Each structure stands twice: as structure tokens, then as C-alpha cells.
Amino acid sequence: MTKTDIATRVYNHTWKLDPIIRSLIDTDFYKLLMLQMIWKLYPDVRATFSLINRTKTVRLADEIDEQELREQLDHARTLRLSKKEMIWLSGNTFYGKAQIFEPEFISWLSNFQLPEYELSKSDGQYILNFHGNWVETTMWEIPALAIINELRSRAAMKALGLFTLDVLYARAKAKMWSKVERLRLLPGLRISDFGTRRRHSFLWQRWCVDALKEGIGSRFTGTSNVLLAMDSDLEAVGTNAHELPMVAAALAETDEALAAAPYKILRDWNKLYGGNLLIVLPDAFGTAAFLRDAPEWVADWTGFRPDSAPPIEGGEKIIAWWEKMGRDPRQKLLIFSDGLDVDAIVDTYRHFEGRVRMSFGWGTNLTNDFAGCAPKTIEGLKPISIVCKVVDANGRPAVKLSDNPQKATGDPKEVERYLKFFGQEDRVDQKVLV
Amino acid sequence: MTKTDIATRVYNHTWKLDPIIRSLIDTDFYKLLMLQMIWKLYPDVRATFSLINRTKTVRLADEIDEQELREQLDHARTLRLSKKEMIWLSGNTFYGKAQIFEPEFISWLSNFQLPEYELSKSDGQYILNFHGNWVETTMWEIPALAIINELRSRAAMKALGLFTLDVLYARAKAKMWSKVERLRLLPGLRISDFGTRRRHSFLWQRWCVDALKEGIGSRFTGTSNVLLAMDSDLEAVGTNAHELPMVAAALAETDEALAAAPYKILRDWNKLYGGNLLIVLPDAFGTAAFLRDAPEWVADWTGFRPDSAPPIEGGEKIIAWWEKMGRDPRQKLLIFSDGLDVDAIVDTYRHFEGRVRMSFGWGTNLTNDFAGCAPKTIEGLKPISIVCKVVDANGRPAVKLSDNPQKATGDPKEVERYLKFFGQEDRVDQKVLV
């Protein structure tokens, strides 16, 4: 009989903050795996993370209100691991393995708070830095990116009326569902959600994840988002990221140490994790250099995640290397995760079908594709290429070369030094959309 | 399958303004009746209306944000009569009479805009004045009061969580319904909603009106709120207010004119309206003086609305006067509307049952009674005694004496002059709660 639920309405309209980050585990699973390793092996290393907007034409500081940004960052700092989350992290099986997190680590994590941030503006961009111990600053990467991206879409939608919004989401849902229908045609597909960092919004990511779960069933192998994995009973997926070799390289004081850094970090990883978690991310300083200098045991790892070469080209090179090392690629796993859309997924799948095990980590094009959904083009709804990267470790500059020079990060002089050291083989410029 | 309707949620959380006044006819019906008379007979009179907070202990300027107040006042100024409203005002029957509003008046009203306002703060109170032609400024009374009162309750609820709000409204509904159950016991009751100006909120008033409609059926004779009358298919009720004799008296340049002013305005009224609209509001300068000096024809009017004397005492005096004038009170109507709660309604009803026709205009205690509903006392939810009164006409001070000196308004020297002129008979101090 109530036409309007007055209490709910009053609550909605006196909303103080609509939190973007609702939980410390609203982050990528690989951050927790890396965090445990940093906590165990590198507890005293200091590392600065910084926001880097590669889409310079988008002036974030003009689009996003600084006060709102601070409120969201401050809110994220109030979050603590909840009891339920702690129990779930301790009791759940990840990659088929129980107790992947040590009780001491979980206990330390239960007191974890995101460290302070440093925010200012320059030339229409935000300068957002996180200084402190690596074991704290690393945890800002995903929430910082999710906050920036969701605030940007909120700002873009502020002027829209209820019906425009209704139609916007209706079209985005229809669009997403037609992608699901295309993916259904690939019988042996294994695909997971990697879209937390650049998602349109938390609720939209949740909708997309639920749509994949219903739409492609067991071919949807999980989500990198720990909170969604817990809430939707999905596998939490992901292994490691560039920050590991980047910090290891930054800490290297000799040429020998620098050359060994990418492999040293894999040995560290192997001390903590095994099996399906033994995934090599080869492109931090160029995949060609990595394969050229890789010790024999690297070929024993489960798989590779080529993250900046074109997927077919990059995959072929890794398969060729496995064959050269006398391994059977059909027993190996390639994880593709760089700027995938459905076309790229279908093409790559068809190309490698039967020759190698494959998995796709679907990111921005899954959780932030509103192109053509608004009645007229809304620039603020187009995803941008934004990252939050480690920029120094113990005061020494950290660098990523990547297979795509457009994705290189770090001080240009230092990038130059690394390029001389590792070589430039096979590095090819490709347009970075997201 | 959608757990959260994202479009609706985004819309709710990027709400720009939650308008308090949604329509020009979200006002009391008597304002439109008076407006037509002013438009016809006093189009050039200038009159200032001012907000008067009689509850000095409540520092409105501390409780209500000035920016929010300005936004709401500005929003009200953007409103125009809609086509539907125009057609309804023209086509509906009011008090059994068709075409109570002249086509020329409706046509003029269709272009009506609330005039500018003048807002400042002093000593914790808002100074809110409306200067201009009477035919424009008069229309601010109800929206100004509704805005102030709703902004105040919104401010008081800002700190409340969803469950506290849910319980608050649940208790208020339960409380309201127990009033309905008491009123049901009075078989011949005629009661209507007079609670627009001091309502907790528009939606709450609508809920209360719907509750009365369902709860006491035909004994609920309508609402003074024109918008709710239209939307809920109820009778729009109300006749005239103190501003008419107050302006007439202010304009009087001689003692004879001042003495005649209260009756002159009734003659004006009679030119436009008849039948059940012939209701005398006798207390502007004291009911005793009004009855003492009233011409014979005043006794032919349908009824009286005693608005500041205690209801039983005030009603008895009017009945005695009718009898003295040789009229049968059982044919006459008394409308009670001053600070009524259920106790007063029941007592008054029982007292006069069978001796006179009665009607009750139930105001603040109907639409703004949250006492005991919040988990702990919230001062900001207690209604206050606030009015918006005419303070001058053509530059001459306007005064109300009332039967209750606490409800007198106007410059104290001028009040003194009026008291000498009209006398003080039967004026009794009573606590003014609302």
C-alpha cells in the first residue's frame, strides 16, 4: 500500500557517501598473493606507487571533483578486513589448494589499513602518490584505480535523467549479452573477469560477472575480484604482476643482480606457491630478453601470461620457446590478458585451439564498455588507459619496459639504461586503448 | 534477476535537488480563492509577507543550510501551472460549485511565477521577506513555510541510518493509525487535512491523507492541499485567512474605515463566492469586537472559523451570538482549526454534538507529529510555531490581534493602537505550540 517507501527514500537522498570501495578484498586476488610474498620476503622494502594516466587528453582533475576523490580515498582507508572475509580467506581453497595464506599472514592482514596518500593537481591531472612500505603501498593499486574510474563515470552521468540512465544500462546489458552469446560458440573457452581496476562501477562489474556466470557456465572460470569471488561463489583468479620484477630490478645494485632479478623473483614465488600459480609474466623488461636469458627451470612452470605483445604473435614465441626447451605446449598454459575484446578472444582462441591450453583474463572491455550505449556520445564514459605503478623501491627508480614501448613506465633515463641492458628485440609499438 | 536497479540507484545518488515544492498548487486551497479576489479587487495593492518564527529557541539559521534553502526557494520560482492543473482547476467542482475560478483568472494564473525573495540571517534566524504586489507575494506563504519545515526535518534526519529511519516512520505510521482509530468512534465527524504548511514532508503529508481516506472514509471531508486533492480525488477545502482583514485594515485611512475593514472584506468575498464558502474568520482583531460591531447580514453567513480562542469557549460565544441574532445554530457551521490534537477534536465534538454543525481542520498534529517516534528525542523533528504573515500593505503596517495575545503579529506600537481601537475583551493568553 505504500506508494513510496519514505524511509528508504530519505536515506537515499541524504546519502553522505556512496562508497566505491566497500571492502579491503574488493581488489584483485593477485595483490593478496603478492602481498603475502612481500610480507614474508620483503617486509622492509619501501616502494612508492603512483597514478599514471596515459590518456593525456582526458584531464582527470577537471572531470573529477577533488573533494569527492578525497572522500573516497579516505573512506577506503577506514576499511578493515571483516571477520567473514578473514574466515573465507583462511578456509577457502584457491587454485585447488587449501590454506594458501599462512595464519600469521591472515592475522597481520586483519589489522591492515591502507596507508596515507599524497594528492595534488598539475596541468589538469591528479598527482596521486602512495609512499611507504611496499607491503602497504602495493594495496592501493586496485582501489585507487577503481575509485578514479568510477568517479569519472559518475561525473559523466551526473547530467543524465532517469530514463537516459535506464536506457544506458539497458543497452549496456544488451551489448554485454551479445558478447556472451558470441563466447558461447567457443566450446573449450576458459575466461575470467580481470576488470576490477577499470570498471565502470562496482555494481556494473557485479552485473557483468553474474551475466557471465549464467551465460557461459563452467567456461567462466572465475574473477580476479576477491570480494565478488566470495559473494558469488566463484574462483578467485590471478597470480602475479610486473611490480615484482620491477622492484627486484630496482633493488639490484650490480649488473649481475639486474640480470638475475626477473628470475630471482620467480624463485621467491616458487618458495610460496606451486602448481597452477606458477605463471610467468615475461614482459617486464621485454619477453625476448626474458626467454633468451631464462634458466632451464622456467620451462617447468605451468604457464606464461604474455601481457603486452599482440596475443597471437606473443603466444607463438612462447610456444616456440617451450618446444625449443623440449616441453610439450599442449601441457602448458597461456593466459591472455592485454586489452582483450571479443574479436581478439575469438581470433586467439581459434588460432591456438588444440595446440596449447589457454585462458583469457577479460578486463576493461568486459566491465567498462558503454560505447554506443548513451543517446549521444559521452566522452567521460569512454575508458582510459590508466595505471598505478611502482615508481621507486628503497629510493631507486623502478622501470617497466614491456613489449610495447607505449606501456613502458619509469624515468626516461632509467628506461634508456634498461633498454641498453636487456635489449630491444621484438618490441613493437601498439596503440594502447586501455 | 537484477539485484539492484543500477539506473535508479545512480539517479538517486546523483540527485541534484530533491524538490520540496513540486507544483504551484502544492499550496492551500484558500490561497487560490483569496488570490482570485485579490486579482479582481486589489490588483495594485503592494504587500510584504515575512517569515516569523515564534519558537525563538529554535535557531533556524543554524539548523538549515542557507544554500539548500536558496535552492529550494529558487526551484519553487521555476514552477508554473501545468496544463493538467489548469484543466482541473477549470473543470473541477469546488464546494459543489462549478467554475469557481473565472477563465480570465485561470489564464492569468497559467503565467504565474512566485516573485523574488529577500533572504538574510540575523541572530540565528532567517529573515525571509517577499516584497511586491499582494497578488504575487501572497502565494509565497505556504511554499515558504513548507520549505522551511521540510528542510528542518531533513536536517534532523541526516545523521540517521536506514534502520533508524525505517523505525521512525514505522512508529509514526502506527501512531497516526491509532489516531485514526480514535476518530472512527465519532460517527458524525467531519475532518479535513489543514497540514500543508507545517508538514514533516510532502510525502509524509500524502501518506497521512491517504491513511485518513482509507481509515475514516466519508468522515474525511478533504484536504486544503490542492495538489493532493487533485491527485487523490479529494475535496479541496478552505476559504479565507487573516491576511484579508489585515490588509483591509492596514489600508484604512480613517477610524471609520478601520472599523469597517473586517466587514468590507466580507462583502468583497460575498461578491465572488457564496454558499459554503461564506465562512467568517472572526478573530483578526478579536472575536468579541468583531461580534459586537458585526452588521446583521454577517449572521446569514454559513459559518464561523474560530481560530485562536479555545475551541469550546470560542464556539459557545459564537453560538450565543447566533442565538442573540435569532439564528438556529443547528443550521450553522463551526470550523475548528487552531492547534488541534485528537483530544481536542474528541472533546470539542462531544461538547457540541447535536447543537451545531461542526468541521475540523487538522493541521500540524496531523502532518508533523513524530513525538516519541525516534529512538531518542530529536529536537529538529518537533514542530515549531512558524508563520508567514503580511506585515505591510502599500507601505502601511499590517497587524493581527487574535484572541490569543501570543498569536498577535505586527509592529508593537501599531498593535497597541489597534488594541485601543478594537478593545481587549475576551483575549486570553494561551501557549502556542504550533
- The complex's ipTM works out to 0.73
Q: Is the pLDDT of residue B5 over 90?
A: no
Hunting for cell 522551511 — which residue is that?
B148
Q: Is B12 on the interface with A (CB under 8 A)?
A: yes
The stretch B318-347 carries a mean pLDDT of 97
pLDDT score recorded for residue A3: 67
Query: Helix, strand or coil for residue B408?
Result: coil
Q: Is B375 exposed, middle or buried (0-12, 13-18, 19+ CB in 10 A)?
A: exposed
Model confidence pLDDT, tens digit, residues B217-262:
999 999 999 999 999 999 999 999 999 999 999 999 999 999 999 9
pLDDT score recorded for residue B434: 74
What is the Cα Rg of chain A in Å?
Answer: 21
pLDDT score recorded for residue B2: 53
Q: Is A168 on the interface with B (CB under 8 A)?
A: yes
The stretch A43-60 carries a mean pLDDT of 97
- Give the other-Cβ count within 10 Å of A58's Cβ: 19
Separation between Cα atoms, residue A331 and residue A340, nearest integer Å: 24
pLDDT score recorded for residue B433: 77
Please check whether residue A420 is in contact with residue A434, taking contact to mean a CB–CB distance below 8 angstroms: no
- Give the other-Cβ count within 10 Å of A365's Cβ: 21
Cα of B19 to nearest chain A Cα, Å: 11
Model confidence pLDDT, tens digit, residues A353-386:
999 999 999 999 999 999 999 888 899 999 999 9
Pairing of strands B93-94, B97-98: antiparallel
Cα of A17 to nearest chain B Cα, Å: 9
Model confidence pLDDT, tens digit, residues A303-349:
999 999 999 999 999 999 999 999 999 999 999 999 999 999 999 99
Q: Is B431 on the interface with A (CB under 8 A)?
A: no
Please check whether residue B379 is in contact with residue B156, taking contact to mean a CB–CB distance below 8 angstroms: yes
Pairing of strands A220-223, B220-223: unpaired
In this complex, do B207 and A15 lie within 8 Å of one another by their Cβ atoms?
A: no
With cut-offs at 50, 70 and 90, classify the pLDDT of residue B9: confident
Q: Domains in chain B, start-ordered, CATH in brackets?
A: 6-422 (3.20.140.10)
A-B CB pairs within 8 A amount to: 70
Average pLDDT of chain A, as a whole number: 95
Q: Is A12 on the interface with B (CB under 8 A)?
A: yes
pTM of the model: 0.81
Cα of A156 to nearest chain B Cα, Å: 11
pLDDT score recorded for residue B334: 98
Q: Is the pLDDT of residue B16 over 80?
A: no
Backbone angles phi, psi at A359, to 5 degrees: -145, 145
Average pLDDT of chain B, as a whole number: 95
